[in-house]
Structure 1
Amino acid sequence: MVSTEETLPLAAPAATPGRRRWLTVLLWLLVAAFAVWAAARVFGLESGFPTVQLIAFTPYAAVLSLAPLVLAVLTKRVWPAVAAAVVTVAFAACVLPRWISDSDAGVPDGPTLRVMSVNMLIGGADPGQIVSLVRSGAVDLLAVQEYTDEGRTALHQAGLDDALPNVVAYPRPGVTGSAVYSRFPLTDKGYRRFASDFGQAQATVRVPGALEVYVESVHPCAPSDGDRDTCWVTDLAAQPAATPDGPVNLLIGDFNATLDHAALRHVLAKGYHDAADVAGAGLTTSWPYDERWYIPGVTIDHVLTDERVGVRKVAIHRVVGTDHKAVFAELVLPKADG
């Protein structure tokens, strides 16, 4: 006799209490790890190797912090989900403003100054490409780091002196050389040398119709290992404050720091804003750009401007022969009185 009863599918076995417990523990561990990272970023707690290096990758941590939140929601674990959401919001508050243009701030009416920064990697960057970028972008002011005698000669032979005839140059062997090139008249203000032996060319620029501009080609010591974290903090702390009642201050170059580092935020607190942040391009990475590197990019090259300066545009360009991209910014300067 054939049975007419329907065969019901077997129910999936319920998760065992042990398995559920371990998943909950794993979620809390993930949330805790991201919470520690977020706290270090929010409160500026990074100190020493490798924390200083890791904090540069905060935008990537912000994206990854969504994983425990999604997992907690999908598995209906309320308190881990709440904690993960708080952590994700903290990351978003730190990172997302760099992606949003401050267009509501407007751009003041004044003379335009187009600036660019390039780290030449011990003078080895392609000089022809640098000069091409200067010409195509109608660059008025170029800040150069890791500027050597060989780099200076190569730039001259490529025609940079024709495009930007005024220069304050301090070539050095290795990574400590610095220069400022300009279409407008320059006054040499010397070479700011740090105890780390890194240094920065200083100059004032006379832009027609604008207040006097003071500029430095920035390059502090890099926090490349535990022994150099101290000089990195010290060099950044030595960056000059803006002068709201005096010349317009520009700090342009390789800061070896991202906006997630408290040491750089302390520089901003001296009266500056980051041009890429203002333009909504603050998450565009500038280093490393080189076939020898296999790590995610970070944003360590910046144009910091006096808060009186407007920002129309920021762009990043690859340059052959260096591990840094060139950073271009179109700025609007406050008018000179009268």
Structure 2
Amino acid sequence: MAVADPPRRRFRSVVRVGCAVVLVCVAALLVIRLTGLDEGSVLALVVIGVPVAAVVTVVVAGVLAAVRAWWSAGLAVVLVVVQLVVLVPRFAADGVAPANTARLRVATINSHVGQVDPRALVEFARSERVDVLAVEELPPGAIPALDAAGLRELMPYRELRPQDDSSLYSRTPLTDGGPLDAPTTWPQTTATVAVGGRKVRLVAVHTYYPAGDVGLWTQDLNALKAVAGEDVVVLGDFNATLDHASLRGLLAAGLVDTHAEVGRGWAPTWPSALPLVQLDHVLHGRGLVGVSAAERTLPGSDHRLVFAELALA
């Protein structure tokens, strides 16, 4: 008659099987991330979990070592190393911003269809001396409330396009305003501002979302490649993270993610109540350099506000 395994042995077996399943899932996620299989695919919905998966893999490696599953623990360590190769660059600052050059302080907020607290938004813009503010999901009815809270006096220059979803506010004059000439789901708002004698093009971004239609979302991100240039700032709600192939395509086209540039590659912005993923970004051309990047939770919005200071290169 067979003798039943002792409880400790059964427990170790269950732990090993559970950890093996986790490692298989992590490995599959890494393959998707490394090969870009998420572009134009529903796999875009899972690739956002790459940073979290790295933390989980470290824990699993420790558990496997504790139960003396050495081969499986070794595999977990290999996966951790690969994940570090993918993730570490976004936590390494690219350099020091030049001194004595003109600065541009920008912010972006998804207003959650006008539900963001106007006083809180205006107070932030005032206290942080924001030069340009991009507001997504801004309906016509929310504009008077922002002006009444003081935005008209603080940022009298604006390119308001509530019919197109996004608007731009500025302390200094804006020129060449209008909808971006690009095949996006809804028009992106653009304008130009003078910084230190140079013209910097601004694009307020709100792409479609992959859970709604991954094809439209991919099309939007690919269309934005056309705005890549030296003196450009592309900011807003991209509905994408640095692990999405389509957003990395924008960076390959010549844009820089400010958070990653200053070594803050893990800065979740959505949902605001418990941020898990960074969907909101400030991207810029190589004619500018990131000085700092930060986030702020404002009442009423389901996204965190993103703020960045840029310097002319």
* TM-score normalised according to structure 2 size: 0.90
Find 1:224's aligned residue among 211, 233, 237. 211
What pairs with 1:108-119 in structure 2 (closer than 5 Å)?
A: 108-109=98-99, 110-119=101-110
Distance 2:256 2:197 in 1: 19
SS in 1 for 2:160: strand
Aligned letter for 1:215?
A: L
Q: Does 1:280 align with 2:263?
A: yes
2:308 — aligned with what?
329
Structure 2 CA distance for partners of 1:29 and 1:157, relative to 1, 3 Å: same
Cα RMSD after superposing both structures: 2.3
Structure 2 CA distance for partners of 1:310 and 1:296, relative to 1, 3 Å: closer
Structure 2 CA distance for partners of 1:15 and 1:117, relative to 1, 3 Å: closer
Does the 8 Å CA contact 2:269/2:275 hold for their aligned counterparts? no
Find 1:167's aligned residue among 158, 164, 168. 158
Aligned-pair distance for 1:51?
A: 2.4
Aligned-pair distance for 1:24?
A: 4.7
Distance 2:289 2:215 in 1: 33
Structure 1 alignment gaps of length 5 or more = 1-11
Q: Name the % identity.
A: 34
2:287 — aligned with what?
308
What pairs with 1:141-220 in structure 2 (closer than 5 Å)?
A: 141-172=132-163, 176-192=164-180, 197-207=185-195, 209-220=196-207
Find 1:93's aligned residue among 85, 91, 95. 85
1:250-280 Cα distance to aligned partner (Å, 9 max, x none) = 1010100010111100011111111111122
Aligned letter for 2:88?
A: L
Does the 8 Å CA contact 1:199/1:220 hold for their aligned counterparts? no
Distance 2:19 2:311 in 1: 49
Does the 8 Å CA contact 1:241/1:267 hold for their aligned counterparts? no
Does the 8 Å CA contact 1:315/1:329 hold for their aligned counterparts? yes
Structure 2 CA distance for partners of 1:57 and 1:15, relative to 1, 3 Å: closer
2:111 — aligned with what?
120
SS in 2 for 1:238: helix
Aligned letter for 1:154?
A: A
Distance 2:203 2:87 in 1: 27
Does the 8 Å CA contact 1:210/1:333 hold for their aligned counterparts? no
Q: Between Structure 1 and Structure 2, whose CA radius of gyration is higher?
A: 1
Find 1:61's aligned residue among 28, 53, 59. 53
Aligned letter for 2:306?
A: V
1:80 — aligned with what?
72
Structure 2 CA distance for partners of 1:296 and 1:57, relative to 1, 3 Å: farther
Between the two proteins, the alignment pairs up a number of residues equal to 307
Structure 2 alignment gaps of length 5 or more = none
Q: In proportion to residue count, which structure has more helix?
A: 2
Structure 2 CA distance for partners of 1:111 and 1:80, relative to 1, 3 Å: same
Aligned letter for 2:168?
A: V
Distance 1:147 1:251 in 2: 17
